A = this chain, B = another copy of it.
Amino acid sequence: MALRHAVLAALLDEELSGYQLAKAFDMGVANFWHALPQQLYAELAKLEKEGLVTGREVVQDTRPNKRLFQVTEAGLAELQRFAATANKPSFIRDDLLVKVQAADHVGAGKLIAQLTERAAFADAKIELFGGLLRQMRGDRSEEEFLRHGERIGPYLTCQRGLAFEQGNRDWCRQTAAILRERTAHVRR
Question: Which of A's residues lie within 8 Å of B, judged by CB?
Answer: 2, 5-6, 8-10, 12, 27, 30-34, 76, 79-80, 82-85, 87-107, 110-111, 114, 118, 121, 146-147, 150-154, 156-157, 159-161, 163-164, 167-168, 170-171, 175, 178, 181-182, 185
Contacts and interface: CB of A to CB of B under 8 A. Distances in A.
A32 B161 contact: no
B178 A97 contact: no
B79 A105 contact: yes
Contacts of A98: 2, 5-6, 9, 32-33, 82
A87 B79 contact: no
B94 A90 contact: yes
Contacts of A106: 79-80, 83
Nearest to A159: B171
B164 A92 contact: yes
Nearest to A76: B105
A102 B90 contact: no
Contacts of A83: 99, 102, 106-107, 110-111
24 contacts: A2-B93, A2-B98, A5-B98, A6-B101, A8-B102, A9-B101, A30-B101, A32-B94, A32-B97, A33-B97, A33-B98, A79-B105, A82-B99, A83-B107, A90-B92, A90-B96, A100-B156, A100-B160, A104-B151, A104-B152, A156-B175, A159-B175, A160-B167, A160-B171
